[in-house]
């Protein structure tokens, strides 16, 4: 099967890292297709960035459908455009926040999210409510790291994130940690080894859950709410 993992921002190095993480867990018959939109912000750190990136990301789903892609992962922790992507796709579409939060509820009775900038905490909070996961989410913590700091090898990111995860365990009594940024995908296992609780990276979990659904022959419901978009005239110039 072919799974398209879409990094909704335009930072190619992050797309490559996400693709590598996805491939590392994918099953033998799974082809991972890591892409990012042609146009858009280099990182997503707020509602405005998300809205711009969502529209661009949807283009990648449309292309995927034309190419016969079996399922999709939206690899930004705000899960921008998730329901819109589900309208476009016939196969399953998962967001990484969605996949990670659900997985955390399978492995613990309560988790904390550790994310980048404080201003994005509200996005994780809204998603937890939308997914029914608020009752499992003990806290959402920010490291006040910019997303692109995760791409900078000289940054202190790993140490700061690990420290915040440790606080989540001690202060929130979190049984599991959800990493709140696709760019943290390469840190999960090291932090897990250090802290000895499940540290969940949404990229890998989302890929495996899409595999699972496709493996059960399941796709997005095309009846009612998530039916294909109504073909529609577009006017004006872009």
Interface positions, 168-207, toward a second copy (CB under 8 A): 169, 173, 175-176, 189, 192, 196-198, 200-201, 204-205
Span 93-112, contacts to a second copy by CB under 8 A: 94, 98, 102-103, 105-110
Nearer to a second copy, 108 or 162 (CB): 108
Residue 236 within binding range of a second copy, rule CB under 8 A: yes
- Choice between 155 and 219, CB closer to a second copy: 219
Measure the CA–CA gap between 162 and 188, rounded to whole angstroms.
9
Sequence-distant (≥ 6) Cβ neighbours of residue 187 within 8 angstroms? 157, 158, 161, 162, 179, 201
> Rounded to the nearest whole angstrom, what is the least distance from the CB of residue 224 to a second copy in the complex?
5
Q: At what angle do helices 157-171 and 188-195 cross, to 10 degrees?
A: 40
Contact call for residue 234 and a second copy (CB under 8 A): yes
* Residue 1 binds to a second copy (criterion: CB under 8 A): no
- Each residue of 10-41: b (16+ CB within 10 Å) or e? bbeebbebbbebbeeebeeebebbbbbbeebb
Rounded Cα distance between 136 and 138, Å, is 6
User: Smallest distance from the beta carbon of 168 to a second copy, in angstroms?
Assistant: 11
Q: Rounded to 5 degrees, what are φ and ψ at 183?
A: -70, -10
Question: CA-to-CA distance for 153 and 180, rounded, in angstroms?
Answer: 19
Query: Taking CB under 8 A as the rule, which mask of x and - marks residues 149-168 in contact with a second copy?
Result: --------------------
Q: Count residues binding a second copy (CB under 8 A).
A: 93
Of residues 42 through 81, those in contact with a second copy by CB under 8 A are 42-43, 45-52, 54-55, 58, 81
Q: Binding string to a second copy for residues 8 to 47, with x set by CB under 8 A, is what?
A: --xx-------------x-xx--------xxxxxxx-xxx
DSSP 83: H
């Amino acid at each position: 099967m072919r799974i398209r993992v879409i990094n909704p921002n335009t930072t190619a190095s992050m797309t490559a890292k996400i693709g590598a993480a996805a491939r590392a867990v994918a099953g033998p018959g799974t082809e991972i297709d890591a892409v990012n939109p042609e146009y858009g912000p280099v990182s997503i750190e707020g509602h405005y960035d998300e809205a711009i990136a969502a529209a661009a990301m949807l283009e990648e789903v449309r292309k995927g459908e034309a190419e016969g892609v079996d399922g999709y992962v939206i690899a930004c922790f705000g899960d921008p455009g998730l329901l819109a992507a589900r309208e476009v796709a016939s196969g399953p579409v998962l967001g990484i926040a969605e996949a990670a939060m659900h997985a955390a509820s399978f492995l613990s009775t309560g988790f904390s999210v550790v994310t980048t900038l404080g201003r994005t905490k509200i996005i994780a909070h809204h998603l937890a409510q939308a997914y029914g996961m608020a009752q499992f989410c003990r806290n959402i913590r920010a490291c006040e790291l910019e997303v692109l700091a995760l791409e900078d090898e000289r940054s202190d990111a790993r140490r700061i994130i690990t420290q915040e995860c440790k606080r989540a365990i001690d202060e929130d009594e979190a049984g599991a940690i959800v990493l709140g940024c696709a760019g943290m995908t390469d840190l999960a296992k090291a932090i897990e080894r250090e802290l000895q609780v499940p540290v969940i990276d949404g990229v890998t979990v989302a890929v495996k859950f899409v595999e699972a659904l496709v493996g059960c022959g399941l796709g997005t419901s095309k009846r009612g709410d998530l039916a294909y978009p109504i073909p529609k005239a577009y006017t004006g110039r872009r």
